Structure 1
């Protein structure tokens, strides 16, 4: 006869308020190291006169987290919601701690629009161990908590009582030390983007609100667009290749004064590098659609490219052949209404690996496409460029000119020298691809008047002030993330056709420019007449003997909305 008593799995009996308080304490102590570092720097450490304020901060944050989780977790969803919060908080704290990023709606937009290749670049063993220690283990503990069962009315009363006590304590702290808290938040607004998980909740709210605010009608832009009439001596169509770079920062281009020779190919091809150009955003999800729209940085809103026509739509309407070729994570709605090709999943030997392709893939079969074109054409090549953190994957081994190289995606484990070397090698490869593109245009000079314009979507932080990658809110972002390269190569025939003064163009090298100029400059270069064109934003117009003038807004050029099927 077996008299052994089975060993019961251990359990903890808690009320829901107690469980929420325990999770809040865990988040306070173990998921917010970047936040507390920033707070410590913001208050200047423990000093005479601020002791009470500094000691009150952990209590303030604990109470705030308790209130936030109390609002989120109710009834049978208490444990599932808290489990999700712990996992999200663990992942968020890892990336904030490793790369110095903050979380807002734009960063969430980047996450929502990333592709599998970019996501895989961010995975490593350190992340998995971090998730295990700070996410999975507390989650498992929660599964062993047995919540005290109460009727819904008593549970509601307990919850409201707990929140009332918390709000009272919060109010006492704030009113007692109002001046200190107001000064801290006024002078260090970034703190609200660093407190986990309230920053994630705020980001989700901001992202959702912006997505729901996107109109359901497609706004037509430049309905009156047409190509300028060709003169008798013009026998060739125009061909412009617009190359959209990824994560290239102006500071590391030797054309702009960088000490390493990262642009040997471009330097030998007579290009013009503009040295004072700023991006619309600090991430592809913002900058890419923004630069192709007519609204500029100040007028851009998330999701606008899905409901508003852009540069490519206007060009296509005017009779220009348009094609978008992509080796990145997509065009964010900009190319949805024009012919487009996705090339980053090709299997071309020598140009592609299992998970991605080098940017030379953008030039594959491009000549065959050009051979079929008989009219003005624009080709957009969206590059993978220097997307991090795996900069070493962005170029073939033959282009590893600078070293030592950081050859993994855990930047915090690499020296800054090796990170910069890998990044510079990726720029060297971009330089090569741009040089090959110019050579292709030269080979087609008998058939087309040609030009190439390269501009990056945003820059990159490489460890300056503890910051890596990109995506900081624009107001907080350093110049490394917003100062971008823009490079022009234009054939002599195109210069002559556009009545451009070469010396005048060179004198524009240091003029303040931005993504706002792209829409209007390309329209001017392609000779498109439309009421949507603004001459003052056309970087070429200053150097033209005879510039385009915008058409007067007529009945046919009004911005007519078109219903988009859901």
Structure 2
């Protein structure tokens, strides 16, 4: 009887291990087939050795993780298999068809982006893909044995085997990825090869991104109440009266400077701004590749954030430029077509309206619920109630995918445009350019309502966007993100009445000189440039001339 029981346990345990192995091969190999194929055409080294190492790495990691969860019993293992498969299939869909790099930035973007934006990035293709490829592992679930206690030796052997294989894989990866191990000719240190492998395949990429995201969120929440107040540190003060001045800061979304005719794009995507004499357009570089991460660093003084890693993780130590303006007596209103609640809370605005509230107001008037032009009305109402020394922050939907959802039909200037998730590259570019045309109209509409005031407007996109062959979207890990995800436009405008002030006029002339020299400006310079262009100074080097676009030094 005892021998029969032991035999049954061993049989059940073998069934569990076989199921774990099959699921691991499904997740680690099958769902990554297109990535293996793409890498085949990109590497110059021993392809067979590299692919075998990568495949062994992904399968062994999956086996180890599932073996760990099986310690808690069959139900936990079953739940883990379902969760791993469901998330991995969704991640694979975007990796297969859009070549999106899944990692920390994407995880942050998904959980930091409003649900409507997430839903808009889905479609029938994702639903069909997920339904088909999530059903496969369900077949194996019923084969997992019921709860039982396996002998310790039988229980530990496969787990120690996984640990040993993982160690071997890490050593082999470091050996095979020679291009990511040796410094380049100019001395730059390449990306960590293990990080490259981890970001390349499901389920390791999304799991690593999730762990880093949670850890970074906890760390930043602990730092939140310890942020250094730049007003206390640097002693900012206005050199000219600001009581009758209005400032508008527009946070763009996914816009690229090389798709704006204002900044030398061959298509006339900004025809209205092109004709404005007081508009200056810069090529810019974003501080990160996703909305949440860029919002954390783009308004902070250079040195107030730090990237630690690898992989790169962003930590914020200083408060942003809006806290300085608030301390200097500016009233602040914030209106947004997105829902980055964490950032909006930090601004400490007098009035905050996110898209749901603005949409509720619009629907009662029969207007489109989600449209950037609604922000124009909000700004107009905001400045009409103030005499000056007032800041309005507007956060666009801008050029976030799906691009064709960002503009009315009459702005479909370039055709054919892309109406669904899958279309050719030219249609996708056409749709993106049409969204830029609408942004041009949006910004022009703001200027029209500010002309009769002493007003200054700053527009900066949060990050760029990939639309090249085999590359799409944004939020790639900062260390490996393509250049186009950092290419952002920065646009500045001042009203005629504001430029009647000599100091403002001199600063604006400096902006024109920088524009003529094709200067690349950076997110991390916005803090000092916004204050500097408004005639605000510092006793303790709070505004450095190199970071102040309006500096005359």
Question: TM-score, structure 2 length as denominator?
Answer: 0.84
Alpha-carbon distance change, 330 to 64 in structure 1, aligned in 2, over 3 angstroms: closer
- Work out whether 1:181 is the aligned partner of 2:190: no
- Work out whether 1:282 is the aligned partner of 2:279: no
Alpha-carbon distance change, 290 to 174 in structure 1, aligned in 2, over 3 angstroms: closer
- Whole-angstrom CA distance in 2 between matches of 1:482 and 1:174: 31
Give 1:451's aligned residue: 456
- Work out whether 1:70 is the aligned partner of 2:74: no
The offset of 1:487, in angstroms, is 1.0
Give 1:142's aligned residue: 140
Deviations 1:392-427 (CA, angstroms, capped at 9, x unpaired): 11111221111111111x1xx311111111111111
Give 2:98's aligned residue: 99
- Please point out which of 317, 321, 325 is paired with 1:315: 325
- Conserved? CA contact 2:60–2:162, under 8 Å: yes
Alpha-carbon distance change, 167 to 312 in structure 1, aligned in 2, over 3 angstroms: closer
Alpha-carbon distance change, 110 to 474 in structure 1, aligned in 2, over 3 angstroms: same
Q: How does 1:203-282 map to 2 (within 5 A)?
A: 203-214=209-220, 215=222, 217-224=225-232, 227-228=237-238, 230=240, 237-282=244-289
Give 1:6's aligned residue: none
- Whole-angstrom CA distance in 2 between matches of 1:179 and 1:310: 40
- Conserved? CA contact 1:500–1:543, under 8 Å: no
- Whole-angstrom CA distance in 2 between matches of 1:273 and 1:499: 14
Alpha-carbon distance change, 185 to 170 in structure 1, aligned in 2, over 3 angstroms: farther
The offset of 1:28, in angstroms, is 2.8
- Whole-angstrom CA distance in 1 between matches of 2:399 and 2:488: 13
Alpha-carbon distance change, 22 to 521 in structure 1, aligned in 2, over 3 angstroms: same
Alpha-carbon distance change, 173 to 68 in structure 1, aligned in 2, over 3 angstroms: same
Deviations 1:94-114 (CA, angstroms, capped at 9, x unpaired): 111122112222221111111
- Partner SS state of residue 216, structure 2: helix
Which entry has the higher C-alpha Rg, 1 or 2?
1
The offset of 1:54, in angstroms, is 4.8
- Conserved? CA contact 1:290–1:296, under 8 Å: no
Give 1:513's aligned residue: 521
The offset of 1:157, in angstroms, is 3.0
Runs of 5+ unmatched residues, structure 2: 1-11, 182-189
Alpha-carbon distance change, 114 to 53 in structure 1, aligned in 2, over 3 angstroms: closer
- Conserved? CA contact 1:351–1:361, under 8 Å: no
Give 1:552's aligned residue: none
Give 1:427's aligned residue: 436
Alpha-carbon distance change, 352 to 518 in structure 1, aligned in 2, over 3 angstroms: farther
The offset of 1:179, in angstroms, is 7.2
- Partner SS state of residue 41, structure 2: helix
The offset of 1:24, in angstroms, is 0.8
- Partner SS state of residue 542, structure 1: coil
- Conserved? CA contact 1:174–1:181, under 8 Å: no
- Conserved? CA contact 1:289–1:334, under 8 Å: no
Alpha-carbon distance change, 474 to 66 in structure 1, aligned in 2, over 3 angstroms: same
The offset of 1:145, in angstroms, is 1.5
- Please point out which of 475, 490, 493 is paired with 2:479: 475
- Work out whether 1:368 is the aligned partner of 2:381: yes
Aligned length: 512
Instruction: Name whichever of 213-222 and 126-135 sits farther off.
Output: 213-222
The offset of 1:180, in angstroms, is 4.2
Q: How does 1:329-344 map to 2 (within 5 A)?
A: 329-330=339-340, 332-336=342-346, 337-344=348-355
Instruction: Name whichever of 59-68 and 163-172 sits farther off.
Output: 163-172
- Please point out which of 152, 156, 167 is paired with 1:160: 156
CA RMSD of aligned residues (A): 3.0
- Whole-angstrom CA distance in 2 between matches of 1:118 and 1:461: 17
The offset of 1:129, in angstroms, is 1.3
Runs of 5+ unmatched residues, structure 1: 1-11, 545-566
Give 1:494's aligned residue: 498
- Conserved? CA contact 2:466–2:485, under 8 Å: yes
- Partner SS state of residue 352, structure 2: strand
- Conserved? CA contact 1:316–1:322, under 8 Å: yes
Give 1:377's aligned residue: 390
- Partner SS state of residue 282, structure 2: strand
Give 1:442's aligned residue: 451
- Whole-angstrom CA distance in 1 between matches of 2:423 and 2:297: 34
- Conserved? CA contact 1:289–1:331, under 8 Å: no
Give 2:9's aligned residue: none
Instruction: Name whichever of 316-325 and 217-226 sits farther off.
Output: 217-226
- Whole-angstrom CA distance in 2 between matches of 1:159 and 1:505: 69
Instruction: Name whichever of 23-32 and 139-148 sits farther off.
Output: 139-148
The offset of 1:457, in angstroms, is 0.7
- Whole-angstrom CA distance in 2 between matches of 1:73 and 1:255: 59
The offset of 1:64, in angstroms, is 3.5
- Partner SS state of residue 451, structure 2: helix
- Please point out which of 384, 388, 396 is paired with 2:408: 396
The offset of 1:543, in angstroms, is 3.6
The offset of 1:167, in angstroms, is 4.2
Alpha-carbon distance change, 330 to 172 in structure 1, aligned in 2, over 3 angstroms: closer
Alpha-carbon distance change, 60 to 213 in structure 1, aligned in 2, over 3 angstroms: closer
- Conserved? CA contact 2:306–2:315, under 8 Å: no
- Partner SS state of residue 476, structure 1: coil
Instruction: Name whichever of 292-301 and 492-501 sits farther off.
Output: 292-301
- Whole-angstrom CA distance in 1 between matches of 2:112 and 2:63: 31
The offset of 1:429, in angstroms, is 0.7
Deviations 1:99-148 (CA, angstroms, capped at 9, x unpaired): 2112222221111111121011122111111111211x134213322416
Alpha-carbon distance change, 168 to 538 in structure 1, aligned in 2, over 3 angstroms: closer
The offset of 1:352, in angstroms, is 4.7
- Partner SS state of residue 292, structure 1: coil
The offset of 1:79, in angstroms, is 1.4
Give 1:27's aligned residue: 27
